[in-house]
Amino acid sequence: MATATQAVPLTEHVSKYVAKTRQMLINGKWVDAASGKTFPTYNPATGDVLANVAEGDKEDINRAVTAARHAFDNGPWRKLSPGERARMIWKLADLVEKHAEEFAQLESLDNGKPLTIARVADLPGTIEMFRYMAGWATKIEGNTIPLVLQGGGKFLAYTLREPVGVVGQIIPWNFPLLMAAWKLAPALATGCCVVLKPAEQTPLTALLLGELVQEAGIPDGVVNIVPGYGETAGAALAAHDKVDKVAFTGSTEVGKLILKAAAGNLKKVSLELGGKSPNLVFNDADIDATIPGAAMAIFFNHGQCCCAGSRLYVEDKQFDKVVDGVSQLASKIRIGNGLDPSTDMGPLVSEEQLNRVCGYLESGYHEGAKAAVGGKRHGAKGYFVEPTVLVNTNEKMKVVREEIFGPVVTATPFKNIDDLVAKANDTEYGLAAGVWTKDIAKAHHVASMLRAGSVWINCYNVFDPALPFGGYKQSGWGREMGHEVLELYTEVKSVCTPIA
């Protein structure tokens, strides 16, 4: 694994942005935390402090929820026509596009991901999510309903789809800007008001987005952004009794805490949680396409994807070839500072993640797994881990059962489809799966048998604003993106009246 070394120069805006303590956005104003406290966010490539940020806690969440409540109950937002809302969301997309390079640099600095990846994945995904949802703002409709019991023609009955209200949104650090867009875009399209809490590891791009929300003309209080820690700000948001719904993306463990906190006022809950996704390769697959596909399935974003293809199952005849191929590609991945254009893989997001991933590697070795490639920390500075393929694995091992959230894939051979499907589904998660075969009927048969929210056939990690994404089992509740997400942000009202 080579080390990349050259970094692109920061734009003047980004240099200035990180030099100043960042405030939080409440009711259209940039303010300090009520406590006056700040917290550092780090550059994971060096471990140095990148910027200081206002540290929101319960009181700031309360201020933000009060602002969102006011904007929803009394403010101009609900009185705007869907067309006006759509134009503001579209304008926000245009503004993000205009500032794309700044966002990409800031994301790379704060999260560690390669600038080149932020430019081609995170930014287009963010911009198109806002555009796609801007389109939906004008197409949220109810139905007219012929009543069953009342006799034909005696009643006019119809449904209205109304915004769910004030939404608390808690997002993770793996795609900080993109996750903010996945959450904000449908909330704005449906006419909700929001308190967004970015992850403490990566608050900067969500805060920069807040500036553009204002520039796009979205009224004060509609979007409030409160950075802070999960146990304080996040927990206060999930528990707040004036919040109508909480939308969360993060670990399954924290998802369960969110659910408990939400029980106080029975707010609606949607959850996009962890995964341990199987990637299934049959003997008849196009192996030349499968090998880079399987490598990308796990190593994209350093394996810090809830849907990472982290369990590779390969039919026996192709097992050695696929493991060798993925290992060779892994050995060529250039690890380095995300700002270096030649970097393929940056650091993990934090020291905590570094320790967690290395701890899993140790547990794997202890239980008998072997690294076909990689297998340890890379360098002594920053939070880098070598892309790793583990072989000699079995279903009982922690590395096969638990989400590692790092660049580590386990490879296991299989003999027949029934055995494979049972193995693939033998997990508490159900977020995604991959299937690699040239046999169309087999591909669709296996897709139908997999208990997962997304199945990619002869591809992996294909995301689109129009394609719903979410989990079966303990991978979550609800679907983000596509028109399905509109259900998460709307209430259905039935209206009927006698007409004869």
Binding interface with ligand ADP (CB under 6 A): 170-172, 197, 199-200, 229-231, 234-235, 238, 250-251, 254, 257-258
* Closer residue to ligand ADP, CB minimum distance, 16 or 260: 260
Least separation in angstroms between residue 90's CB and ligand ADP is: 28
Asked if 199 contacts 173 with a C-beta cutoff of 8 angstroms, the reply is yes
Nearest to ligand ADP by Cβ — which residue?
230
CB of 199 to ligand ADP, least distance (A): 4
Query: Which CB, 246 or 446, lies closer to ligand ADP?
Result: 246
Entry field: residues in the chain: 500
Helix (H/G/I), strand (E/B), else coil: 2: coil
Task: For ligand ADP, give the closer residue by CB, 238 or 373.
Answer: 238
Residues annotated catalytic, as ranges: 272, 306
71: tokens are: 């904007």
Which is nearest to 258 in space by CA: 231, 235, 233, 225?
235
Task: Round to whole Å and give the CA distance between 416 and 289.
Answer: 22
In whole angstroms, how close is the CB of 258 to ligand ADP at the nearest point? 6
- Calpha distance 253→356 (Å, rounded): 15
Half-sphere exposure of 263 (CA within 13 A, CB side): 6
CA dihedral 217→219→220→222, nearest 10 degrees, is -120
Any idea what DSSP says for residue 75? S
For residue 354, the minimal CB distance to ligand ADP (Å) is 13
Q: Which is nearer to ligand ADP, 352 or 418 (CB)?
A: 352
Say if residue 233 is exposed, middle or buried (CB neighbours under 10 Å; 0-12, 13-18, 19+): buried
- For ligand ADP, give the closer residue by CB, 235 or 385: 235
Shortest spacing between CB 98 and ligand ADP, in angstroms: 27
d(CA 384, CA 345): 9
Sort strands 223-225 and 193-197 into parallel, antiparallel or unpaired.
parallel
Please report the sign of the dihedral spanned by the C-alpha atoms of residue 53, residue 124, residue 342, residue 391. Answer: positive
